[in-house]
Structure 1
Amino acid sequence: MGVLTPERRRPRCSLVRGQNPTASTGAPSRSTTDTKGFPGGCAMKSPIAHRKQTASFTLVKLLAIAPLWLMLATVNTSAYGQTSNPSPGDWTQFLRDNMQRWNPYETVLGVNNVETLGLKWRFDTGDPSTEQLSSPAVVSGVVYVGSNDNNVYALNANTGAKLWSFATGGPVSTSPAVVNGVVYVGSGSNLSGIVWALNAVTGAKLWSFVTGGNVSFSSPAVVNGVVYIGIGSNLGAEVFALSATSGTLLWSSNTGGEVLSSPAVANGVVYVNSDDGNMYALNATNGTRLWSSPVGGSVLDNICSPAVANGVVYIGAFGPGPSISGAIYALNASTGARLWSFNAASGPFMSCAPAVANGVVYLGSDGHVLYALNASTGAQLWSFLAGGGLDSSPAVANGVVYIQASGNPSIDGKNLYALNAGTGAELWSFPLNNFALSSPVVVNGMVYFESGSVLAFGLGNADLFLRIEPTPTTVHQGDLLTFAFPVWNLGPGVAEGEVLSNLQVPAGTTFDYVRISGTPGLGTCTHPPYGGTGQIICHEGDGMAPNTTWTVRLTVKVTAPAGTTITESAATMSDTFDPNMANNTATVSLKVQ
């Protein structure tokens, strides 16, 4: 399927696109570096904001882009020092920078509007039918994701257009980390696992590191110039720390079993879950073991990744005892002492990472149940029964939990969910066509996810329709003249933050009064004083539901003499994406008699 919409709200910094890199599939050396293809950087954000505009205003903004590209062309910085100005709300790596899979900066999507989420675009990878494990990273308006078709992709976050792809020579089931203009990602299975560093703007290879083990599950964590990754192998070294700039091995550590989980790094400590049934804490500088703590009995393929918040490590694993039930553990981050545990009787294991937000731990089980637990005590707050096993990790943003349920869509019917984080109530769901273990991420009003294809969801489209109706149509000097500005939302989505602008007290008149009628909440207007002239801007006070009308009425006094033409115009816009800009401006003229 092609791109479904041409744009989205708040585009980020425009990127300089280079040629698609060609990767060598031959066996690289243990650590190889390519000094070519470093990006020129991306020095500032695009001046274009996503609101509906009049044609003249849009033209001015488009003209403003030219100097930006000229400035970008003169920038000369390395990939490790580029100034692409990532937003704090970006999702830079699997666990996010806070190691909690919680985006506290999200303000667009929330409990009150997530039900209007709609598919904005879809990008089909080279093998859309294959089960996908890689979860997206979203940085500076670009989506980075791996695929089982042996490629890493960079996509425009607003449109889904491909910016570049890089062939790794092996399946990419780990989730990229994007830091300082570099994409770090692992690929390959069995003994062919490789960690790659790629130029985030062009996709050119910067360096690669051959692990000698399996890099199918553990996603890299990048903190303070170091890349940390777990390895599935029997080489006696299951956690690697690499220089982010050169790929040089800084240290390696043995946990006693394969490390298929993704590391969490906080306060100078690396936390990993090993399939020997223990959680390990390692010194981030030298790999020295600080402590280990059992999280279940003897287990195989214990791939759940930890989250760290407020001095506590949260992890899901096989539960204790012969029942092999799933369990959630809370450990003291400094000592490894168990603070509490919760037995998830609904399923045999937890294979995802918890999300921790606002004092609550969210984690799903293979038994189709998502649990919300008090982070301090482990007490269950609520649970949600999904249509399939919850083998992916939840994401939390602005009071909403997003979780993917694997299963047969033809039977289960719903696979990607949005739930009220406080109550567990289902707010929205979307059916998926493929089984997937990818986890959703939420950035700037969009939800990104991979299920064979990369999918992007945003608020449902609104179609605003504006008219201007003067009363009376025959006026004389000294008369009062009223202009009505009815705005219809033709839907299908709710129009959030609707504004009536480009509205002036027309020449030849003076301001008398303005009033609003229509949807609940009505709104507010800024206007000149009585008898004055100038601009009027009106903000609708609540979201406009589909098929509703909001009307502003402006009354002015005619001061112009007979024969004068009075012209009024206006434009309407909203925060919700609107694909039809042709019907949101209007102009009317009438002659004084």
Structure 2
Amino acid sequence: MQLRKTLVVGMLSLAFLSGCSLFSGEEDVVTMSPLPKVENQFTPTKVWSSSVGSGLDGHYSNLRPAWQGDRVFAADRKGLVKAMDLANGKELWRADLSIKRGFLSSRESALLSGGVTVSGDRVYVGSERAEVFALNAADGTLAWQSTAAGEVLSRPVVSDGVVLVHTSNGMLQALNESDGAIKWTVNLDIPTLSLRGESAPATAFGAAIVGGDNGRVNAVLINQGQLIWQQRISQPSGATEIDRLNDVDTTPVIVGELVYALGYNGNMTALDLRSGQIVWKRELGSVQDFVVDGDRIYVVDKNDRVVALSTNGGVNLWRQSDLLHRNLTGPALYNGYLVVGDSEGYLHWINTADGRFVAQHKVDSSGFLSDPVVASDKLLIQAKNGDVYAFTR
């Protein structure tokens, strides 16, 4: 067994559903809320769908589509990467990153897990094998391949001439955008027990802001790899190991001079971008990325409540609790509505003014794990089986 134990939120849910606690010896039961009854105010239009390999292949992964211009890029865990036309889903090219073994040309899964990211003329994706791939966006040919310090579980982020990757062993690395050579590595430290997942960095003013598994938010100079500040937003507490998990796996959001960050068993916190000092905090936990829009923050918390907060002090504006334990995706803000997917394959459309449901529809029986993505006038989402869907309102 590895020294570092890793947990997946879905695995925790399964443990609870079985009635057995892996940590305390007590019985805990979590029941998925029944599907709420919704009188649809509109019916979203499915523009197209396209299969991308075998999807997540039954594993936990944050792979999700990316888009640029008139193209959509998506990948499956085994190593298939596809480019599709945003208008109609037609395949433009495909690349196979699986590993060729032996003389019989058998292929081994690439275990893709971090991505997909598109920036400039390159498409980036990382793997559990600690590999980072850069593909040419025009035709899918391999531009470079580089070995990182550990599993690349979060999406690569491109800024200031480097590709930033956050690995499962707590390393933040900068790879040269041109050739993948490692420019610097910063050790963000990890606890013995943590959730399986890592924060992707947010970047602004030459700094990368990234969460860590030790409950801290970190600011690092992108050009030098120098740590500027650290701020703890989640403190280990509670009777069980699960209660003491304090990962910051969400991607921070930078708005002006403020950084918004969110921990699993911690707080939604507003930090000063330059100093890291806490401006305000509110008790709230999640591993899902959140949305900041104007004077509001939209969060799916760790119990699958959908919450709207004010950016002015984190005041609770509304809370939607009818989707408890349905294993929701993170939210997307599309056409004035908040959209989340669930593990049974439904999309739920929520009024941002009051948290009421306005539409609900079944999309894919394999269910959703990765967040919806807004691409121009379309909403994209990738199901666990690899199918990518495009909707319009």
* TM-score, structure 1 normalization: 0.46
TM-superposed deviation, 1:107: 5.8
Structure-2 residue corresponding to 1:309: 293
Structure-1 residue corresponding to 2:199: 218
- Between the aligned residues of both structures, percent identity stands at 26
Contact 2:337/2:349 (8 A) holds in 1:
yes
Structure-2 residue corresponding to 1:421: 392
Aligned match for 2:316, one of 330, 338, 344: 338
TM-superposed deviation, 1:160: 1.2
Structure-2 residue corresponding to 1:377: 354
Q: Cα deviations across residues 121-165 of structure 1 (Å, max 9, x unaligned)?
A: 123144963654311221111011211121111111121111111
Structure-1 residue corresponding to 2:171: 194
Q: Cα deviations across residues 205-231 of structure 1 (Å, max 9, x unaligned)?
A: 221111112794211111111101111
TM-superposed deviation, 1:260: 1.5
TM-superposed deviation, 1:421: 3.3
Structure-2 residue corresponding to 1:67: none
Aligned match for 2:383, one of 405, 414, 421: 405
Structure-1 residue corresponding to 2:183: 206
Contact 2:265/2:284 (8 A) holds in 1:
no
Cα distance in 2 for residues equivalent to 1:162 and 1:261: 29
TM-superposed deviation, 1:391: 1.4
Q: 1:288 aligned to 2:258?
A: no
Higher strand share: 2
Structure-1 residue corresponding to 2:302: 318
Distance 1:238 1:397, change over 3 A: same
Contact 1:114/1:418 (8 A) holds in 2:
no
The residue type paired with residue 163 of structure 1 is: A
Aligned match for 1:273, one of 262, 280, 284: 262
Cα distance in 2 for residues equivalent to 1:344 and 1:114: 34
Structure 1's unaligned 5+ residue stretches are: 1-100, 297-301, 320-325, 410-414, 423-593
Cα distance in 2 for residues equivalent to 1:181 and 1:205: 12
Distance 1:125 1:288, change over 3 A: farther
The residue type paired with residue 420 of structure 1 is: F
Structure 2's unaligned 5+ residue stretches are: 1-63, 73-84, 100-106, 235-245
Cα distance in 2 for residues equivalent to 1:371 and 1:134: 25
Q: 1:146 aligned to 2:126?
A: yes
The residue type paired with residue 397 of structure 1 is: A
Cα distance in 2 for residues equivalent to 1:280 and 1:104: 30
Cα distance in 1 for residues equivalent to 2:351 and 2:147: 43
TM-superposed deviation, 1:401: 1.4
Q: 1:329 aligned to 2:307?
A: yes
Contact 1:143/1:155 (8 A) holds in 2:
yes
TM-superposed deviation, 1:102: 11
Contact 1:103/1:396 (8 A) holds in 2:
no
The residue type paired with residue 270 of structure 2 is: A
* TM-score, structure 2 normalization: 0.68
Q: 1:123 aligned to 2:96?
A: yes
Cα distance in 2 for residues equivalent to 1:402 and 1:283: 33
Cα distance in 1 for residues equivalent to 2:145 and 2:70: 31
Cα distance in 2 for residues equivalent to 1:103 and 1:376: 28
Distance 1:150 1:103, change over 3 A: closer
TM-superposed deviation, 1:116: 4.5
TM-superposed deviation, 1:376: 2.7
Cα distance in 2 for residues equivalent to 1:103 and 1:405: 14
Distance 1:133 1:334, change over 3 A: farther
Cα distance in 1 for residues equivalent to 2:86 and 2:231: 46
Cα distance in 2 for residues equivalent to 1:194 and 1:364: 31
